[in-house]
Homo-oligomer: A and B are copies of this chain.
Amino acid sequence: MPTQPSKSVSTFPNPHPDRDYTIRLVSEEFTSVCPKTGQPDFGTIEIEYVPDQACVEMKSLKLYLWSYRNEGVFYEDVTNRILNDLVSACHPRWMRVAGIFKIRGGIQNTVTATHGQRA
């Protein structure tokens, strides 16, 4: 049975919730579709956060990023939506998501959105 892309992000209990520490997850394997032209877009997604009670499960994150593969999304929107979805899933004390997208029309675009204040 093949694994499926999914908008649902799983978590696991933070093994050290008493301490503010950071987790940084980087995937160079993000692709979505340009809403205007229907052509593929590519980028790197960097996530850094301070977990509260829950941590993002890595395999689940992979399936979540996969879920954008056939979706038409703008760079500014998708970066914020990834942040929103991950915040909803794990309620971190602080989180930042950066989308670093490949050159289009000679211009390279990086979007960085943050939730909460870093302690």
Contact B111 A102, beta carbon cutoff 8 Å: no
Partner of A19, one of B40, B66, B69, B113: B113
A100 vs chain B, min Cβ distance (A) = 9
Q: Are A31 and B40 in contact (CB under 8 A)?
A: yes
**Cβ contacts under 8 Å, A51 to chain B:** 76
Q: Mark A18-31, 1 if CB is under 8 A from B, else 0.
A: 01111111111101
A37-B2, A58-B104 are known contacts. Are A74 and B15 too (CB-CB below 8 A)? yes
> What's the Cα separation between A23 and B100 when bound, in Å?
10
**B-side contacts of A109, CB under 8 Å:** 23-25, 58
Residues 45-79 of A contacting B (Cβ, < 8 Å): 51, 55, 58-59, 61-62, 66, 69, 74, 76-77, 79
Question: Chain A interface (Cβ within 8 Å of chain B)?
Answer: 2-3, 14-16, 19-29, 31, 37-40, 42, 51, 55, 58-59, 61-62, 66, 69, 74, 76-77, 79-80, 102-115
